[in-house]
Structure 1
Amino acid sequence: MSLLFVRHGQASAGTDDYDVLSERGFAQSRRLGQWLAATGHEFDEVVMGGMRRHRQTFESIASSYAEQGKALPAARIERGFDEFDHHAVFDGFMRGNADHPAVVGSHAGGLMALGALIHAALGAWAEDRIAGVPESWSDFGARVRDAGERLAGGRERKVLVLTSGGVISRLAQHAMGLNDRGAIDLNLSLRNSGLCEFHLRPYGMALGSWNALPHLHDDRGLWTYY
């Protein structure tokens, strides 16, 4: 079995509605579809999380297939591949840690400051140090792991999965036996529209490749993380 996971295209951070692709996110997704179709990638099944950015990524990929006279299977929604509530995690961390260097530094803006804030917030969440988060770190990991095991069950097939960075990093954590810090580092490394391969082994899911961007090799301006 081959499972190709795609992190959604760039969403709309800093706007009133994060859960919609940015113009750059649509471009990333269309180019991914063009590359997948042109290089002969065919799938027996398409699965996606239930968020709008997941659906828009799929629709952009599917439109690129159609432009080349090809088609993807209809996508089914698997809510186990929904991303965690990042607003609850990050806002909760900032409210409870106003004097934390990562929170203070975030007010200045910039990519490095945002990365430091995300890293600190995820670390606190993993240690159950944020109040009011509707889903614990451990519950999120169990939800994602269960969804991955359901997907891996049954007959051999090639599956395309559209989801988010937190989901993919927790699957990789489970597959590789990493600690929570390793999962957080993997999460922060994932680029928008990046490709990650998993394969089914007798002992469970195994990671095949991580964070590839063959469809964006010629345009570094389309490499984004947030």
Structure 2
Amino acid sequence: MCRVVDLQQAVLAKNAMAADVLRTELAARGTTVVNLLSSPGSGKTALLERELLLARERGIAAAALTADLATENDATRLSRSGVPVKQVLTDGLCHLEADMLAGHLHNWLPQDTRLLFVENVGNLVCPASYDLGESLRVVLASVTEGEDKPLKYPTAFGLAQLVLVTKADLAGPAEFDETAFRRNVQQVNPGVEVQLTSVRSARGAGLLLDRALAAAEGRSVHAPVMARAQA
């Protein structure tokens, strides 16, 4: 009798095991991973650069790994923060996987790193299904992307432990309906925290860093219903 194997599920199961191993290994050395997901152009790099600068000012040992299909532009920008930064070029792959991340961290990540921010490939589809050994998963969406983004990408938003709305200074010109956006987020992920941010106006400055530190200290982190259902 032929056995039908769901290749996608097998790949995700293998990745989940690798993610658990990586999470355990990093936790043993005191490092917490924060996985950042968003569409291209959401302002993810600008927000992360600001948070890395704040981490350095506060004396928090942070590092960043950024993934893109091509160019090292994001790593160049993030390096201005003064923290260790590594660029990963995926050569067309639309997401990172736990094994890939572990390989890139080997012999690079400073031993005393407390927070490792991973700027995933700009994409709300492929990266959403892959655990990277993170303790905090953050999904970002700009006010210019529309209020229905959470409904269009339910897996990405449904597995988020924190949702950040970027470019809040443009909410007026973009006619962004904050109430509708929050309602749509709660529809796919009840109880998740949603915060508006703006690098230009400094709104929400330090919020991502504070939530990352809370996760590092073992304080309560939102448990998405979707994640519990998959467990």
- TM-score normalised to the size of structure 2? 0.34
Q: Which has the higher helix share?
A: 1
Higher relative contact order structure (alpha carbons within 8 Å, sequence separation ≥ 6) = 1
